[in-house]
Structure 1
């Protein structure tokens, strides 16, 4: 992911926002990597909504928490065929959950799920990212801006902008097939189909930060009139046969897009 940011490439991944928050934490100790203490119930809800809703219900509960829940400051989780118990704080197995300390319990629970339980795994991820993007400038970014650099913009696609930056090999922008293609994408495809076309042709359904002008896109002619369009996503290249009719082009293109995963992409 660090290499993608460094090289200005976008990735078709969807991490929850807390991942980018954790990546931006600078630590002075090699033993304290990527630990974030201020993650909230909102952050947890974007990752584990059912657990977050249960914790919110605990905070909103108007009865006697100690008597009705009978819980301690511990959390249990499954590991293979066994159940593990972890104390959320020192001597947590001896501390009753009450109305007075439930806010602390919830925050410790969030910290366990989003920090402590994945510490070693995230440490490797954090070190890998910062080994490539180790610069003070990275601290000037907000988490959502890092997400934009990695995943691209979710804004509506500007097909005219994509058309302007497109290069052609054995085609020209005036060829009938090319004019059909842009007409189909712009006027006959809905927004979801346009994104699926972009995913098929480039490997990502999002636009790079800065717009299409930050990328290259090429359409190459192939002599066969029967095969489906092919995409070389590493090069943002669409290999397009010279179909005889607009209807044939649209049909073949739709089949290729709908079956893009594991087929038609090289």
Structure 2
């Protein structure tokens, strides 16, 4: 009753104290990780890395030679059959076949980048890009096409865990529910939006309207995989249970769970076995799903001028006071807050290689857009990640806009 209100009220001061003396997190301040929302990402990361270092024994070298064009398969064969402790405690020494170079860390960092891109090679059938962003990936429900798919998922989990331990970043971005799975958090209807925008809209419609005598759904879903038609029950005997106004909330919850988790449970279970072998679940859960993406992929390099120059407005103009408040707020944010804003509106922290002009959405290139929210200015900003769309109420003052934006991106 005292701890949570006290730490919430003094969040800024506590984070500042830790920044000026990070060793406080090795003492009584370590208790702050019990309230995940209090610590800023940089302080959590310091605590997390200190914990990982404390279980590091000696780090014997583990030499690996890979062909650049076959880096995924060569790395899998070299590492998958090693013990968890061998992988966890070793210092990798990477050689790209036919390329001279001494690995003093730089070659390993490059190997992580090249390997992470090959995870998504469509020939392996492990992941599919989400419709709203071709650079963000979700596990492929039909990955069993590849007979090695489960051991490949376990290997990918291990590689991500190892990269985090080695403090190397990966060039990979997953859909929100993958990060939630790693953290053991429940998925929500909003997570469906980037995966299947039309299906998401139909589920929202069901929740917002009286469906009596209008729809004829049952507690089941149909799949059609390569000509094989199946009816899958969402609950026992689901295909015989009609969705009604009384039970529609439960139906939507079950559909979302099936689409985002149950349908790829085998794949994610193997992924998590590999990941948790290198990083304990207790330790990783100090982060939320946005922070976990930043931990794996690194903070993006965001050019605010480029962002602003490639933004469109609906029912606002570039000269409106609310728009100028918005860009003033973005410039006042630190790198972590800018990344979280980008995640909030686009679903990922990734900035396209050629800048914001190439931001993609469900229908191809889709610029960042700010729409006037005609509802009450008491509302928080909201977003549609498929369309990189921020709905911004017309706040009266800069302070209100900045505060509402921060509340939305940190809690929304």
TM-score, with length taken from structure 2: 0.34
- The runs of 5 or more residues in structure 2 that have no matched partner are 1-159, 305-350, 357-412
* CA–CA distance in structure 2, aligned partners of residues 55 and 135 of structure 1: 32
* 2:308 aligned with 1:149: no
* 2:196 aligned with 1:48: yes
* CA–CA distance in structure 2, aligned partners of residues 135 and 18 of structure 1: 16
Partner of 2:101: none
Deviation, structure 1 residue 155: 4.3
Give SS of 1:69's match.
Answer: coil
The one of 253, 257, 265 aligned to 1:119: 265
- The runs of 5 or more residues in structure 1 that have no matched partner are 26-35, 159-190, 197-266
* CA–CA distance in structure 1, aligned partners of residues 281 and 291 of structure 2: 16
* CA–CA distance in structure 2, aligned partners of residues 71 and 194 of structure 1: 45
TM-score, with length taken from structure 1: 0.52
The one of 169, 175, 181 aligned to 1:22: 181
1:27-106 aligned within 5 A = 36=185, 38-64=186-212, 67-106=213-252
Q: 1:49 to 1:193 in 2, by over 3 A?
A: closer
| Alignment size in residue pairs | 151
Give SS of 1:43's match.
Answer: helix
* 2:280 aligned with 1:134: yes
Choose between structure 1 and 2 for higher RCO, CA contacts under 8 A separated by at least 6 residues: 1
- RMSD over aligned Cα, in angstroms? 2.3
Q: 1:193 to 1:110 in 2, by over 3 A?
A: closer
Deviations along 1:16-58, one digit per CA (max 9) or x if unpaired, are 1221111012xxxxxxxxxx5x311111113222211111111
Q: 1:71 to 1:192 in 2, by over 3 A?
A: closer
Give SS of 1:4's match.
Answer: helix
Deviation, structure 1 residue 157: 5.7
Contact 1:157 1:194 in 2 (8 A): no
Q: 1:193 to 1:58 in 2, by over 3 A?
A: closer
Give SS of 1:84's match.
Answer: strand
* CA–CA distance in structure 2, aligned partners of residues 136 and 14 of structure 1: 23
Contact 1:71 1:96 in 2 (8 A): yes
